[in-house]
Amino acid sequence: MNSSRTRLVVVGDALLDHDLCGRAERLAPDAPVPVVHGTRRSSRPGGAALAACLAAADGRPVTLVTALGDDPASDTLRELLAGRVDLVDVPLDGTLSSKTRVMAGDRPLLRLDDGEGRARTATAAAETAVTGADGVLVADYGRGTADVLRTALTTAAGRAPVVWDPHVRGRPPVPGVRLATPSAQEARTFARRLDHADDTGDEAGLRTAARDARTLVRAWQARAVAVTLGERGALLSHGETPLLVPTPAAAAGDPCGAGDRFAAAAAGLLADGALTEAAVQAAVHAATRYVAEGGARAVATADRADAPEAASPCGDTTADAVRTATRVRAAGGTVVAAGGCFDLLHAGHVALLQAARRAGDCLIVCVNSDDSVRRRKGSGRPLVPAPDRVRVLRALECVDAVAVFDEDTPERILGELRPHIWAKGGDYARTELPEQPLVESWGGQVLLLPYLDGRSTTALAHRAARSPAPTGGTPR
């Protein structure tokens, strides 16, 4: 089947996730705890809602069936999902679960959980969406959505591929699912409940994972079980000799949501008609890329109340740039970024940006804010304010998006974009770039491009200042 016509239905418990990201460089004087400062708050769909958004980013229509209520968290999630997926909600008892992570760089320091809402009952619309799907992904987070739709899911498993991503607080998959995708820890917990066997050796070891997968295939009456092993890949079992699918490369980054990325990729491919082995191999590669490219934060949206820079006169340029980078990555493309003040756009700038665009599938230009330019260039700069600079850059055919940053260097915005290539002019060939280690940390590359000699904003400004005033004629 063709993914452009294949509709995937994601069934499960949606969450609302928040990140408070900042820097931790010292301990508090009154307690041995880190002080996080310079925080920026962002929100994103979580749980089954994240899985649905990731599946939709693969280019297929997705319907999310989940439990939502009338509480503020449910309303916020509806806004975040608008335009990404079709939503069919069932009644929620209580308030939607939300999670807040306090982050120092890529390291979580603390998580705060709120809301214990559970799905109350199924609806006719939800049952129809499930039984009529081309493929189904169950993203069970133990809050009842899969339980109230269990009859419809059993019917769906008899006629379409169903992928079940289980949770230790939830019930086992319905019989006949095409693929179940527990983590190694989840598989160990489920298998222990079934066989009451004593643990031997490393719980994440391949022998243990193979034994657990074999047990679960038989107990769950599943066609196959893929035990996810983090950076080691996944172990696929049909009940006999397992197949190890290793990751293509080590990926350093935030693994939050990697299991959802794996399950969403596998479910979409099985709905398209792929073989289970091929779907699992592609899902391992998709999860590896997901972690390397920033994980769940790639689908986050800055909360304006806590991010005043988003209300700049340039508009929400960062969110637009992040969406562009996410879309291109999801399609397997190469994201290129370039940066600078671009105060008076001249031929040297244009040549650099055109060359950068040819190096990949999109070009995102990172521009210093007015305050940042003043700190770097002096009180007389910039000559052109940021909104005008952004507008001119956006008008260039080679530029796909523009992001404005207020710091002296672009590390923060690069951390959000995670480009595959960071392009700089050849005049930086003998200069140590402070952002180079950051770009290389997620597998990116700094690329130097030819720069036209003799072109500079400073030279243009000096020539304009020396030009004699016109002596006659009509002003223009």
Is residue 413 pLDDT above 50, yes or no?
yes
Cα 169 to chain center, whole Å?
26
Please report where in the chains the tokens 């970024």 appear, as a residue.
337
Question: What residues are paired with 17 via a beta bridge?
Answer: 44, 99
Percent of the chain with pLDDT over 90: 53
Tens of pLDDT, residue by residue over 311-329, are 333 345 677 788 888 888 8
Residues 260, 272, 316, 370: which is the catalytic one?
260
Host H or E run for residue 365 = strand 362-368
Q: Which of 227, 248, 228 is nearest to 237 (CA)?
A: 227
Is residue 9 pLDDT above 70, yes or no?
yes
Tens of pLDDT, residue by residue over 344-358, are 888 888 989 999 999
Return the higher-pLDDT residue of 287 and 379. 287
Q: Token pair of 459, please? A: 């030279």
3-state secondary structure of 234: strand
- Average pLDDT in the chain: 85
Contact 22, 42 (CB under 8 A): no
343 is catalytic: no
Hey, which bits of 215-326 come out as E strands? 225-228, 234-237, 243-245, 301-302
Phi, psi of 468, rounded to the nearest 5 degrees? -70, 150
Contact 26, 34 (CB under 8 A): yes
469: DSSP letter? P
Host H or E run for residue 129 = helix 124-131
Is residue 68 pLDDT above 70, yes or no?
yes
Q: End-to-end CA distance of the chain, in Å?
A: 62
CB atoms within 10 A of CB 471: 5
Is residue 199 pLDDT above 80, yes or no?
no
Phi-psi region of 149 (alpha: psi -120 to 50; beta: other; left: phi over 0): alpha
pLDDT of residue 468: 57
Dihedral sign, Cα of residue 90, residue 178, residue 51, residue 230: positive
Return the higher-pLDDT residue of 308 and 159. 159
Tens of pLDDT, residue by residue over 211-224, are 999 999 999 999 99
Tens of pLDDT, residue by residue over 249-288, are 766 667 888 999 999 999 999 999 999 999 999 999 989 8
Distance between CA atoms of residues 156 and 171, nearest Å: 17
What is the strand order of the sheet 362-368 is part of?
Answer: 401-405, 362-368, 335-340, 421-425, 445-449
How sure is the predictor about 4, in pLDDT bands with cuts at 50, 70 and 90?
Answer: very low
CB atoms within 10 A of CB 152: 23
Structure pTM?
0.65
Tens of pLDDT, residue by residue over 414-457, are 999 999 999 987 655 456 678 889 999 988 999 888 765 544 55
